[in-house]
Structure 1
Amino acid sequence: MSEGWSLTESDPGVFTGIMRELGVKGLEVEELYGLDPDLLAALHPVKALVFLFKWIGGDLASMDGKLVTPEDPSFFFAQQTITNACASMALLNAVLNVHDPDVELGEELNNLKAFSEGLDPESKGWTISNSEKIRAVHNSFARADPYHLEESRPPTADDDAYHFICYLPVGGKLYELDGLKPLPVSHGDIPDPENWTSLARDVLERRIATHPPGEVMFNLMAITSRSGYLTKQVATLSKAVEEGQARGESDEWVNAQLEEAKNKLARIEDQFKEWDIENSLRRHNYIGLIHTLLLELAKQGKLRPQIEAAKKEMERKVAAKKAKGQSAEDLMEE
């Protein structure tokens, strides 16, 4: 039996790491704390939005749009055909529809896109689910958990199930790509092609409004090409500065813009380094190390003072609760 798919954290470092290990270059993922124009402008250019929400049975929340079959044969949409794969499915549905000459998909995803052209969404989903490479990369970002057991039962209405989908512009229209639906959902023409996220904001607000009042379990991330955009900007501004110096001129505005672009790019590169460290820690299982350290401390008799101190502290708390008329069971519940 082949290994299953693990749950994936809604974390920009994880999603960026998955793309990198699949060979994607020129894209990264950033967390969004809202859809205010200023927040989105800071991440320009935004290629797609990835939305995490609590799934409600019979999910009709997004059906203000229309299920469609895109005419463009290069349009990529895969259904989710296996449990726990929705994070990578949303990511791939977005990335494989990004048309940007500065973005490289890499050998694995280029082969996937070429192989699946002409297939229906379900067959594309099975193609992804059966990819050993994609499954291995997806699972490699799961937190190490020695006590994790594969769920052998299907989810029930009482379970808290969370689901990833994506929104992005393709051919002048806003699409919602949800692997649990049979086809892409079109939300119509984008009024301002330079500001497609404005329409996406309206759609997301309507969707969030369909959830019970007070529901806060949402997360939003943006797939951007900001690092590549800034790299080109730095190159262009550097050339302008050099040409100005050659003429014996100095443009303070250009110099300031260059410095700002360099600082932004440096912050992104620092963030990449932090994500690399976090992903390394996320993937490592420290339970064995902790168990060995505790076992050695116990053998040396160095844990006994701490155990005795903990017992005395518990006895003190129990006595204090009893003095207030509360039982030891009440203390344990707290």
Structure 2
Amino acid sequence: MSAREGGGGWQALESNPETINPFLKKIGIGGVECVDVFSFDDEMLEFIPKPQLAMILCFPSSEAREFLQTQYDEVEKNGQKPADVFFMNQSADIGNACGTFALFHSLANLENRINIGDGKFKNWFEKAKLVGEDERSDLLSEDTELAEAHEETAEEGETEQPDNVEYHFITYVNKDGKLYEIDSCAPFPRPLGNTTDETLVKDASVAVKQLMDNVQQLSFSAMALVGKQE
């Protein structure tokens, strides 16, 4: 399924490895690629390549927002907000970029484990690490090289651009053996326990299944960010 996010600002990206993988190349990232996650059934998960570094989920936004808010309220109540995870809040003027935010949240938190290259992403990331969470979104919206790569990628997609907000992207990433759900519209990353490069998608599926059980529309899609198979 090639769902798109929607909203104002940048054009929408598709949840589709054939779209995201060329984008990775455009921004200078090598050694990793996205593959489809077709099902969270145990037997299907065995076919997903390893190492599994992150999983990007695309889902109907409005139906899920209330449920997700309760999850983050519980984390805040229990004082579990993480301090060592790269995170940025998405501002309104870059509303169509949540696919890029999910991808960049994945890459940034894998900084010491993957080759982030010496291109557009690294140039932005080195600046982003020096400013606060709220400023990182503005830094991204003002980056003309990344905006151009994003627009080229969005225009190459197979589905039409939406008029209204329909879908939202978040990521689940392995940061130092801990699984985090990172949502650019949430107040902070959500810790979800331990994980490994062999079990990340299965571990993340626990949270995804909870989300699916609480949303009536089942139009979800997911991609795993994995070590590239040479």
Shift of 1:197: 3.0
Q: Closer, same or farther in 2 for the Cα pair 1:104/1:38, shift >3 Å?
A: farther
Q: Closer, same or farther in 2 for the Cα pair 1:101/1:49, shift >3 Å?
A: closer
CA contact (8 A) 2:102 2:171 kept: yes
Amino acid of the residue matched to residue 123 of structure 1?
E
Show structure 1 runs of 5+ residues with no match.
Answer: 152-158, 232-334
Aligned equivalents of 1:173 and 1:117: distance in 2? 21
Amino acid of the residue matched to residue 16 of structure 1?
N
Shift of 1:130: 1.2
Amino acid of the residue matched to residue 226 of structure 2?
T
Aligned to 1:206: 210
CA contact (8 A) 1:121 1:183 kept: no
Aligned equivalents of 1:102 and 1:127: distance in 2? 23
Greater per-residue strand proportion: 2
Shift of 1:51: 0.4
Greater alpha carbon shift after TM alignment, 76-85 vs 43-52: 76-85
Spell out the pairing of 1:162-181 with structure 2 (5 A cutoff): 162-181=167-186
Greater per-residue helix proportion: 1
- Of structures 1 and 2, the one with the larger relative CO (CA 8 A, separation 6+) is 2
Q: Closer, same or farther in 2 for the Cα pair 1:33/1:57, shift >3 Å?
A: closer
Aligned equivalents of 2:199 and 2:156: distance in 1? 40
Question: TM-score normalized by structure 1?
Answer: 0.57
Aligned equivalents of 1:45 and 1:37: distance in 2? 17
Aligned to 1:7: 12
Percent identity reads 22
Report Cα offsets for 1:102-123 as digits up to 9, x if no partner: 5233332222222122422221
Q: Closer, same or farther in 2 for the Cα pair 1:129/1:203, shift >3 Å?
A: same
Aligned to 1:89: 101
Aligned equivalents of 1:209 and 1:91: distance in 2? 25
Aligned equivalents of 2:156 and 2:17: distance in 1? 18
Aligned equivalents of 2:56 and 2:34: distance in 1? 9
Greater alpha carbon shift after TM alignment, 135-144 vs 85-94: 135-144
Q: Closer, same or farther in 2 for the Cα pair 1:57/1:130, shift >3 Å?
A: farther
Aligned to 1:129: 141
Larger Rg: 1
Shift of 1:22: 0.2
CA contact (8 A) 2:82 2:190 kept: no
CA contact (8 A) 2:183 2:189 kept: yes
Q: Closer, same or farther in 2 for the Cα pair 1:218/1:149, shift >3 Å?
A: closer
Aligned to 1:48: 54
Show structure 2 runs of 5+ residues with no match.
Answer: 1-7
Aligned equivalents of 1:149 and 1:173: distance in 2? 35
Greater alpha carbon shift after TM alignment, 169-178 vs 189-198: 189-198
Aligned equivalents of 1:149 and 1:101: distance in 2? 34
Question: TM-score normalized by structure 2?
Answer: 0.80
Report Cα offsets for 1:2-56 as digits up to 9, x if no partner: x941111221111111111000000111111112344334311111101010011
Aligned to 1:64: 71
Q: Closer, same or farther in 2 for the Cα pair 1:186/1:130, shift >3 Å?
A: same
